[in-house]
Amino acid sequence: MLTSKQRAYLRGLANNIDTIIFVGKGGLGEQIYKESDNALAARELIKGKCLENSPVTPREAADAISEHTDSDVVQVIGSKFVLYRPDPDEPVIKLPKTKK
């Protein structure tokens, strides 16, 4: 679970990345989940978009992909969403520490 400070940090990083996941009229399916999982394994932070003809909302798409890929939803704004999953062995993105 991400803190608000960590979410803000990841949102800042997401500003500079390209959208790589597109949910179109086919909606969500195994191909989208597989592509998202592969992208998260390679990049840790990905941006997706629901096209106008998509049968699901961006929030629904982000939640479903997050559930299937064991990732966190960082942000959903407009038609775009951002997902984050740290590499279990060597995380590239260093999140701000949480206070305990």
42-82 pLDDT per residue, tens: 999 999 999 999 999 999 999 999 999 999 999 999 999 99
Per-residue confidence band for 93, with pLDDT thresholds at 50, 70 and 90? confident
Q: Is residue 66 a contact partner of residue 60, using CB atoms and an 8 Å limit?
A: no
- Number of neighbours of residue 11 by Cβ within 10 angstroms: 15
* CA separation for the pair 52, 76 (Å, rounded): 15
Enter the pTM of the model: 0.91
Is residue 77 included in any domain, yes or no?
yes
Has residue 78 been placed in a domain? yes
Residue 74 is assigned to a structural domain of this protein: yes
Please check whether residue 69 is in contact with residue 39, taking contact to mean a CB–CB distance below 8 angstroms. no
Q: How confident is the model at residue 33, as a pLDDT?
A: 95
- Provide the domain count of the chain: 1
**24 in a structural domain:** yes
Whether residue 31 lies inside any domain: the answer is: yes
Domain of 21, in residue numbers: 4-84
Output the domain CATH number for residue 41.
3.30.110.60
Please indicate, yes or no, if residue 39 is contained in any of the structural domains.
Answer: yes
pLDDT (average), residues 14-19: 93
